[in-house]
Structure 1
Amino acid sequence: MNRKNHDSPVESRSSQSIDFSMVLASAVHDMKNSLGMLLNSLDELRQEQGESIGESPRFNTLQYEAERMHNDLVQLLGIYRLGENNLSAHMEEHFVPDFLSQHMARHTPLLDGLGIELEIKAEDINGFFDDDLLTGVLNNTINNAIRYTRSKIRLTAAQQQGFLVIGVEDDGEGYPESMQHSGTPGFKSLDFKSGSTSLGLFFASSVAQLHSEGDRTGSIRLHNGGSLGGGVFEIWLP
């Protein structure tokens, strides 16, 4: 048998070009959609069972962790698109109090189950921003605040120095000094060995930078204090 016209297994494998990053992105996208369906089912189950399940610590932990994983996958996809130069901000005008109210409604069932109060303190202002990208930032920030707050989370919005400033405050112990900063953390600064990669901060600052007007660019700021005395996350959008 003449074998000259048949590629060897090694040659066949080496001739295949596999974009592993795209394979991972596709898998992450599928997992994100599955978790989204799981979260919808958990919301429906909470509505059906009422207080009997809403007060269950195990159920609330399940929903919290599923939400956290979903947020992480959204951020990973966003960062992948950013690396592929395929992530941009689509600006539209929004009435900021209504935008924040939508977020409050989404998180209210879990917060009620955990005994955490969520309130909004926002000026009656409009803002131009990409609501999908900002939704990803706020969902992650609120989820983090749930972990560290004692009893209350506040969403704020105001105009400062020509910027729209949207904040998430809590009444916990606040950010450690090493995390308090203004600006953009670099991707090379992410530390996977420490167990705290700051992936959410990198995503948030990247989203902020996608919002620009003239020579002004968005940014994030982390500090302590605010009206609740705990951690304060702010995203500044021109």
Structure 2
Amino acid sequence: MNPSIKQKSDNTEYGNVPIDFSFVLASSVHDMKNSLGMLLNTLSAMMENSPPRDADQARFFSTLEYEAARINGELVQLLSLYRMDEQTMMVVIDEHHTIDIIEEQVARNDSLLKSRHIEIQVDCDIDLIWYFDHELVGGVLNNLIVNCARYCRKQLLVSATEESGFLCISVADDGQGYPDNMLLGPLPQGSVSFGSGNTRLGLLFARKVLELHKSKKGQGYMTIANDGPLGGGILKLYLP
């Protein structure tokens, strides 16, 4: 072997500069997220300037928008998980009207819900106030609505109430329910997914966000069950 050629070491070095792959991946994800955001804006402008001619084209545009938004959401979750791991995530706990965060996420997914002919109901006292990070909890709720819209038949129900000193925000659907391997009460560290595996990252992100919310009552958690109020699955977020 030519002695002038340095073999790559186990920790992957070129010269004397080690490569931090977690940082490289996080930077790449950030760039992809920005590019995808531009793509979403372009797609939205295109649909506004050239509305779909018929129902088939409307569904086609809706699918493009949904898939791009879903990938963008997962990239945001990946970046958030990286920042949590690096302990650089800013958590801003403040007082909020719970109805506001629910209505924001419902409005955010209005085109998706309409294109799939899904009726969404909201059940929340307008005076219900709680302390939480608006952006993080909003991201979790948005992910739940998007995934439930994908697997439900025609109806979704988002509700919020106080239970035993915790704020409980639940998302119920009229689909086939969650698979058996997810019906484990509070979510464990292990692998969970729908058949496609798309929700594994979303559920991990949700659990981490809930764990960041702590008080003397305990820390946030979630539960999953079937036979909800609409006959399908129901996922509940608990915030202390």
Q: Same fold (TM over 0.5)?
A: yes
Taking structure 1 as the reference length, the TM-score comes to: 0.87
Partner of 2:27: 26
Q: Name the CA shift for 1:182/1:61 in 2 (closer, same or farther; >3 Å).
A: same
Partner residue of 2:152 out of 129, 142, 149? 149
CA deviation digits over 1:21-74, x for unaligned, max 9? 101001101111222222233333344444637762211111111111111111
Q: Report the 3-state secondary structure (helix = DSSP H, G, I; strand = E; otherwise coil) of the residue aligned with 1:37.
A: helix
Partner of 2:6: 10
Query: How many Å separate the matches in 1 of 2:41 and 2:133?
Result: 24
The RMSD of aligned alpha carbons is 2.3
Partner residue of 2:216 out of 209, 214, 217? 214
1:15-164 → structure 2 map (5 Å cutoff)? 15-50=16-51, 52=53, 56-124=58-126, 125-164=128-167
Deviation at 1:106, TM superposition (A): 0.8
Single out whichever of 79-88 and 148-157 deviates more from structure 2.
Answer: 79-88
Query: How many Å separate the matches in 2 of 1:68 and 1:84?
Result: 24
Q: Is the 8 A contact 1:218 1:235 kept in 2?
A: yes
Query: How many Å separate the matches in 1 of 2:140 and 2:113?
Result: 18
Q: How many residues align?
A: 229
**4+ residue runs over 6 A deviation:** none
Unaligned stretches of 5+ in structure 1? 1-6
Unaligned stretches of 5+ in structure 2? 8-12
Q: Is the 8 A contact 2:165 2:217 kept in 1?
A: no
Q: Name the CA shift for 1:126/1:48 in 2 (closer, same or farther; >3 Å).
A: farther
Q: Is the 8 A contact 1:182 1:219 kept in 2?
A: no
Q: Report the 3-state secondary structure (helix = DSSP H, G, I; strand = E; otherwise coil) of the residue aligned with 2:14.
A: helix
CA deviation digits over 1:144-203, x for unaligned, max 9? 1111010111211111111111111111011012101332431xx2379x8527221111
Q: Report the 3-state secondary structure (helix = DSSP H, G, I; strand = E; otherwise coil) of the residue aligned with 1:142.
A: helix
Q: Report the 3-state secondary structure (helix = DSSP H, G, I; strand = E; otherwise coil) of the residue aligned with 1:190.
A: coil
Query: How many Å separate the matches in 2 of 1:91 and 1:199?
Result: 23
Give the counterpart letter for 1:190 in structure 2.
S
Q: Is the 8 A contact 1:28 1:77 kept in 2?
A: yes
CA deviation digits over 1:78-103, x for unaligned, max 9? 11112212235210111111221111
Q: Name the CA shift for 1:14/1:184 in 2 (closer, same or farther; >3 Å).
A: farther
Partner of 1:4: none
Query: How many Å separate the matches in 2 of 1:36 and 1:116?
Result: 25
* Structure holding more helix per residue: 1
Q: Is the 8 A contact 1:224 1:232 kept in 2?
A: yes
Partner of 2:171: 168
Give the counterpart letter for 2:112 in structure 1.
L
Q: Is the 8 A contact 2:182 2:192 kept in 1?
A: no
Q: Is the 8 A contact 2:101 2:138 kept in 1?
A: no
Question: Between the two proteins, what is the percent identity of the paired residues?
Answer: 40
